[in-house]
Amino acid sequence: MKKIFIYSFFLLGLAFAIAGCKKNNYPGGTISAFIPMYDLRNLYKGADLTLTQDNMFGSNQISGVVISDHPGGNLPEGYLILQDKRRLNELRGIAIPIGAAAKDYVSGDSIHVHIVGGVLKRENGMLQIIGITPDKITKISSGNVIPPNRVPSSFILLDPDKYESTLVAIAKGTFDPLPSPADTYSGAKLINDGFADIPLVTLGAATFANSANLPVVGNFYGIVVNRSLPEGKLTPEIRMRKLSDAVVLSNNIEVAPAVISGWINDPQGTDANNEYIQFLATQDIDFATTPMSVVTSNNAGTAEPTGAPLNGWATGGVRTYKFNITTGTAKKGTYFYVGGTNQLINSTGSTNISTTANFVKTRNYGSSAGESFGNTTTNLLANSGNAYGIALFNGTTVTVTSVPVDVVWVSTGGALYQASPAAGFRVAANDFYDRINPLTLAEQPFFTQGLNTLNFIYAPTSDAGWFYKVSGVYNPDQGKWVKARSHFVFQLEKTSTVETIEGPTERIWYDRATNEEVRRDTVYATSLKKPKI
């Protein structure tokens, strides 16, 4: 396994001189009557706590917006659930059991609750304030808009206490396994949003429990409810409040026949004819019968034509370069490569991988123009700090309206998009990008438009042979990433082999000051989700 040496950085402490000051007659501030939910939850240390004005720092109430709705019958019965973000803009929630009166409040109600004398405790997995009677609650207003709070499921699983009793949006969720038309919401079903699997729980008594025609891809709005396992660990689940909390995004599955899994943009030595891109096949591919194409985008400051790419990926010139893949094969779950004809792992004098790596397309881009568009170039992918991109297309025809099946970007510098007239590089619907904003449903087909701003970062030094190893898990049955891609850059040596870029890699962290090893972990290459047995 190739070792990656990454140095940690010390956080330097700052010393503050505390100077004395003269006494004056300034009376000081007035303590708010309302304790933020963030501070309230932090009062709980594992044991029941009776709330007093003293232990709440002089406050005696909480305020928030109700997120519970009981007509749907899918929430813990008798619980009023509200949230606020009064402290540090950190959203937190709390549950208050008040019996039948909980049905008197609906999502969007703004309320004040006097909580002195109540007991903060965790019961049935949920942190709550018990002993609060309905007369302690005052409704201030109704119909308040609750902004969507998109939270990756992996965040909730990592810190269930933080998200407990808050309303979250699990965006671009798919059921695992995919539902049949007759399947209903009833029971506990796993949904995946590209980060992790999390249970979507629907009680048998819920009004929508027997609703069928579940979305293939959808947004699922719900309250995070925790359960306590015997060892005390909290296990979160998502509870929709009503059927409309499920928003259909698509009932079609778009499977990418291959995905981008790695690349080298700046090998150690000459770049011309030595850059290459690695792909993972998600199905058996015979490129003679199902041709594909790869387009690279170099947006260095001097790359022409300058300005926004009016023809998108088909802009040509020095901005985009095209490879047609019309021969060769790739088996499902294997890697294949597109790049320069040298087929060296790390430029001049390095290992020749022409017989060990599956190069389905090579072209001497230093002396030959791209196929259909693209000038000869010494760099397919920029080294300047401006953005560069890689796009994979079905077929060999790429025009201004063509949409890639997969795309990745490094950095965001350069002229990439203009709003009017709309022009830019179109994105694929993948783990990073959405052609339609999943929450607002507004169109955003281009990179850097709307929410399409995610990108990888440049390697730390130039001309050092850094390989971008992308680690993620793609599920071809669902046509989606069930674990979003992250990237790790590591330096190839001249003697590195193809196993270095296709197999697991050991990453070792060192302390910069002492040069002592801090920890080590393993980075795996992009893979396909194994089917359930």
Domain end among 232, 250, 268: 250
The 3-state DSSP class for residue 523 equals: strand
Q: What percent of the chain has pLDDT over 70?
A: 94
202 phi/psi in degrees, rounded to 5: -125, 120
Residue 391: half-sphere exposure toward Cβ, Cα within 13 Å? 30
> Cβ(188)–Cβ(175) under 8 Å?
no
pLDDT over 90 (residue 511): no
- Token digits of residue 290: 């199902």
User: Most confidently modeled of 2-16, 23-37, 112-126?
Assistant: 112-126
Locus of tokens 């979250």: 168
* Alpha-carbon gap, residue 530 to 131, rounded angstroms: 49
Band (pLDDT 50/70/90 cuts) for residue 532 is low
Band (pLDDT 50/70/90 cuts) for residue 23 is very low
> Cβ(334)–Cβ(343) under 8 Å?
no
To the nearest 10°, report the CA torsion of 93, 95, 100, 105. Answer: -10
Which of 15, 185, 201, 45 has its CA nearest to residue 127?
45
- Token digits of residue 92: 């937190």
pLDDT at 28: 53
The CATH code of the domain that includes 217 is: 2.40.50
Q: Answer yes or no: do 377 and 307 share one domain.
A: yes
526 phi/psi in degrees, rounded to 5: -55, 140
To the nearest 10°, report the CA torsion of 237, 239, 243, 249. Answer: -40
Which of 65, 141, 128 has its CA nearest to residue 98?
128
Domain end among 250, 273, 306: 250
Q: Answer yes or no: do 99 and 172 share one domain.
A: no
pLDDT over 70 (residue 123): yes
> Cβ(202)–Cβ(185) under 8 Å?
yes
Give the tens place of pLDDT for each residue, 41-65: 999 999 999 999 999 999 999 999 9
List, as own/partner pairs, every contact residues 202-205 make where C-beta atoms lie below 8 angstroms and the sequence separation is at least 24, other chains included: 202/74, 202/239, 202/240, 203/73, 203/74, 205/73
Q: Answer yes or no: do 408 and 470 share one domain.
A: yes
Average pLDDT over residues 408-425: 96
Q: Answer yes or no: do 444 and 395 share one domain.
A: yes
Distances (CA, A) of 461 to 202, 267, 411, 506: 51, 11, 15, 20
Which of 431, 437, 439 has its CA nearest to residue 482?
431
In a domain, 355, yes or no: yes
Amino acid at 294: V
* Sign of the torsion angle spanned by Cα atoms 170, 480, 469, 532: positive
In a domain, 504, yes or no: yes
**Residue 106: is it exposed, middle or buried by C-beta count within 10 angstroms (0-12/13-18/19+)?**
middle
**Number of domains within the chain:** 3
Band (pLDDT 50/70/90 cuts) for residue 2 is very low
Q: Answer yes or no: do 188 and 269 share one domain.
A: no
How many angstroms from the chain centroid is the CA of residue 114?
A: 39
Q: Answer yes or no: do 292 and 383 share one domain.
A: yes
In a domain, 326, yes or no: yes
Q: Answer yes or no: do 183 and 264 share one domain.
A: no
> What is the domain range of residue 211?
153-250
pLDDT over 70 (residue 303): yes
pTM: 0.85
The residue count for the chain: 533
In 111-217, which ranges are continuous DSSP H helix? 153-158, 160-163
To the nearest 10°, report the CA torsion of 408, 411, 417, 423. Answer: -30
How many angstroms from the chain centroid is the CA of residue 420?
A: 29
Whole-number mean pLDDT of the chain?
92
- State the Cα angle at 485 between 484 and 487, rounded to 5°: 150
* Alpha-carbon gap, residue 66 to 95, rounded angstroms: 10
In a domain, 19, yes or no: no
Domain end among 218, 250, 282: 250
pLDDT at 12: 29
Q: Answer yes or no: do 262 and 241 share one domain.
A: no
Give the tens place of pLDDT for each residue, 223-266: 999 998 877 789 999 999 999 999 999 998 889 999 999 999 99
> Cβ(336)–Cβ(330) under 8 Å?
yes
Q: Answer yes or no: do 123 and 173 share one domain.
A: no
Give the tens place of pLDDT for each residue, 188-223: 999 999 999 999 999 999 999 999 999 999 999 999
Q: Answer yes or no: do 87 and 176 share one domain.
A: no
* Alpha-carbon gap, residue 301 to 219, rounded angstroms: 39
